[in-house]
Amino acid sequence: MLTGNTIIAEVAWRSCVKVNSVRELDEVLDRIAREVSPELPQAVNITRRNGDCLTIVLGAKEGSILSFIAASNDPPYFVSLGDPTAKGVFTFFVELDHHSEALARNVVSENDAREAVREFILQSTGLPRNVTWTEV
């Protein structure tokens, strides 16, 4: 759980950065997106004040994937749902070089993913409502 009156979230990718506003969050995510190679899309963790974590994948040409884990680390876990008829896998990397995959049906546009992250850090609980979620 984050402490401090003005800290609304912590962004973790290579290091942790505490953000105090949606504008700061966007700046941090923009900076990460500029560093990420399209061949190595990266998972970035955003933790809000209550300890819930939303992961966004940045840098992929196909879009992004979001995944949610509550602060308790207990199920249910959720992942974004894009086109439910999409086939194949979406490849991304965790901690720079750890290969990971998700179903292509879980890909949403990066714009929708970014909007979901903004909503997530402003909410005290729950999932962003601008994307569809499926339990995993």
Angle made by CA atoms 38, 11, 84, in degrees to the nearest 5:
55
DSSP code string of 38-99: TTS-EEEEEEETTS-EEEEEESBTTBB-EEEE-TT-PSP-EEEE--TT--SEEEEEETTTEE
pLDDT for res 96: 84
Residue 91 lies in a domain: yes
Domain limits for position 107: 9-135
**pLDDT over 90 percentage in the chain:** 93
Residue 108 lies in a domain: yes
Instruction: Provide the pLDDT confidence category of residue 5 given band limits of 50, 70 and 90.
Output: low
Please give the tally of structural domains in the chain: 1
Instruction: Provide the pLDDT confidence category of residue 6 given band limits of 50, 70 and 90.
Output: confident
Average pLDDT over residues 10-30: 96
